[in-house]
Structure 1
Amino acid sequence: MTLGFREPAKKSLGQHFLHERGVIDKMLLAISPKPGDRFVEIGPGQGALTFPLLDRHGALTAIEFDRDLLEPLTAASKPHGALTLIHSDVMNVDFTALAAGEPFRLVGNLPYNLSSPILFHALDHAASIRDMHFMLQKEVVDRMAAAPGSKVYGRLSVMLQAYCMVTSLFKVPPGAFRPPPKVDSAVVRLVPRPPEQVGIDDPRRFADVVRAAFGQRRKTLRNALGGVCDADRILAAGIDPQTRAEQLEVADFVRLANLAPAPPVDSD
């Protein structure tokens, strides 16, 4: 147990505390903190990444939900640098307001049971984030970085790759954590694309098209998109309506969504 931290990991919060120094060093090398960077960490836990990052950079803001970790984190951080703690569920943190016009770098060992919601929450504030380095379940990272045609290429792949450059960096074994999870983990880098490179006219419509396309993977686009986009518009996007979603490139989905009609407005 880390000095000053008396509480064990809480299963209810999906806590697995990173402790393997070699993994921490590889993460720091991947993050490569520079003077002038602003860092925000999600879930500092017992400070495994927090304190070495403070040693390198000097200042850090961290978002921690577990009240029992706030006092020991504050005390243990003092020899390392200036740690600003936000006690909150990360889903309730407005990253745009936190950035205050100065985009920051986001890091964290994400709780595996909440990783997808947190990723989509970060996407909503991508304009305020320079890059992201996350530790996640390896299966999720594989889906995030998957290429078209892969068995794990799906909604998460398309949504993230449309807005970010996604790079799987390295695998992390269960023994690097305390207690060890039952799955392998991996570190991933996401770099938000500039808006002009994204090219999505209506983010909500894009999300609707991608969700419908992968809603029933075995169906062709003609059938899967029946309530969202008709066969004529699929053809107009230069796509065969008999194609299945996993065969399309991200750019195909963007083109398709930009041609699709807006969903009907509920008059009630």
Structure 2
Amino acid sequence: MPKPTSSSIMTTSARVGGFALTKSHGQHLLNNPLVIDNIITKSEIRPSDTIIEIGPGTGNLTMRLLEKAAKVIAYEVDPRMVVALNKRVRDTPYAKKLQIIQGDFLKAELPRFDLCVANCPYNISSGIVFKLLAHTPIPRHFVLMFQKEFSMRLAAKPGETFYSRISVNTQLLAKVQHLIKVPRTCFTPPPKVDSSVVKITPLTPRPSIPLLEWDGLMKVIFNRKNKTIRSIFNQKVTKKAIEAKHLKLCESLKVKPHDDPVSVALEVIDKLESTPTPSRGRSSEKASMRAAKLDLTQLQNMLNAFMEKGISFKDDE
């Protein structure tokens, strides 16, 4: 978890009682105040905003957020950091604007908020994104620092190296924009990877799509994103899953199941591959579909076609 500070580790340690940074919490201190300034500017904070921060550390980013917002709610897992941040704001005009919650952000019940601005722990990056995107009422946007590769996955487009399941799951619900590159040399001690800041703006209203069915299909086809979808559906493990989920769906709906749901699914694929698209015009040749090349519209059309035939992908709850 990158911890923003404009001072060195020795200065920070002296100020918070000399405790050591904890590797398990990913505590790397951001030593470039220009990056913090840039994050604040890109966040477009309004004076009435309530902001959530994840992993405030000793509070350099927190203090800047407090200057701009009506309230900051900071989630911090390390009790030593909680003590340090409380000391830092105690005798300032910002003390009443800050609420610190000690504990795991992913397990917390979130209040209403307008923005999330944070340097995120790498090991729970995905959980953070989807917890924020699921929140109601829908916040305005999130400005978040992640490991560079994770940020690239969030923003990747079809055909790009980092295009993946997390790309489509995020972009189904939000617009993702890369904002700032943050080299590892900006941290003390430097992490093993560079970081990036992204802006995630949730779509309003949220798309009307069965998310569990969507995610189930994405798990299947992005597991081997460069293989043809037809070949993935011909694998034994995929066939078995299709049969079991189709039967369960039909039982819940009290309808007769297909004799061979796998063949039905393959027919859907063949029909989609024969359908003209802007990229290949009206060619009579079938184009083998691969998840790595499909955009959101094509993926949604695929899911709709499967669901119309009673082919389910939803995992057991």
Greater mean deviation of Cα atoms: 79-88 or 115-124 = 115-124
Number of the residue aligned with 2:126: 116
Matches within 5 A, 1:181-220: 181-195=191-205, 198-200=207-209, 202-220=210-228
Number of the residue aligned with 2:102: 87
Larger radius of gyration: 2
Fraction of identical pairs, as percent? 32
Number of the residue aligned with 1:134: 144
SS at match of 2:197: strand
Q: Deviations over 1:198-252 (max 9, x none)?
A: 242x100000111111111232111224545813333555586721101000122
Matches within 5 A, 1:246-257: 246-257=292-303
Provide runs of 4+ in structure 1 moved above 4 Å: 235-241, 263-266
Matches within 5 A, 1:157-196: 157-195=167-205
SS at match of 1:72: helix
Tell me if 1:25 matches 2:37.
yes
TM-score normalised by length of structure 1:
0.88
Residues paired across the two proteins, number: 259
Q: Deviations over 1:55-107 (max 9, x none)?
A: 22252110111111111101202325121011110110123xx12xxx42111
Q: What letter corresponds to residue 256 of structure 1 in structure 2?
A: M
Q: Deviations over 1:27-48 (max 9, x none)?
A: 0010021122111111111112
The CA RMSD measured in Å over matched residues stands at: 2.2
Contact 2:214 2:313 survives alignment (8 Å): no
Number of the residue aligned with 2:154: 144
Contact 1:39 1:106 survives alignment (8 Å): yes
Query: 2: CA distance between counterparts of 1:89 and 1:265?
Result: 26
Query: 1: CA distance between counterparts of 2:76 and 2:172?
Result: 29
Matches within 5 A, 1:221-232: 221-225=229-233, 227=238, 228=242, 230-232=265-267
Q: What letter corresponds to residue 22 of structure 1 in structure 2?
A: L
Q: What letter corresponds to residue 124 of structure 1 in structure 2?
A: A
User: Structure 2: which 5+ residue stretches go unaligned?
Assistant: 1-10, 243-261, 278-285
Q: What letter corresponds to residue 266 of structure 2 in structure 1?
A: A
Q: What letter corresponds to residue 232 of structure 1 in structure 2?
A: E
SS at match of 1:156: helix
Tell me if 1:259 matches 2:315.
no
Judged with a 3 Å threshold, the aligned counterparts in structure 2 of structure 1 residues 126 and 211 are, in CA distance, closer, same or farther, namely farther
SS at match of 2:190: coil
Which of 265, 268, 286 is the equivalent residue of 1:233? 268
Contact 1:143 1:154 survives alignment (8 Å): yes
Judged with a 3 Å threshold, the aligned counterparts in structure 2 of structure 1 residues 256 and 80 are, in CA distance, closer, same or farther, namely farther
TM-score normalised by length of structure 2:
0.75
CA-CA distance at 1:259 after TM superposition? 2.9
Judged with a 3 Å threshold, the aligned counterparts in structure 2 of structure 1 residues 127 and 219 are, in CA distance, closer, same or farther, namely farther
Query: 2: CA distance between counterparts of 1:220 and 1:143?
Result: 21
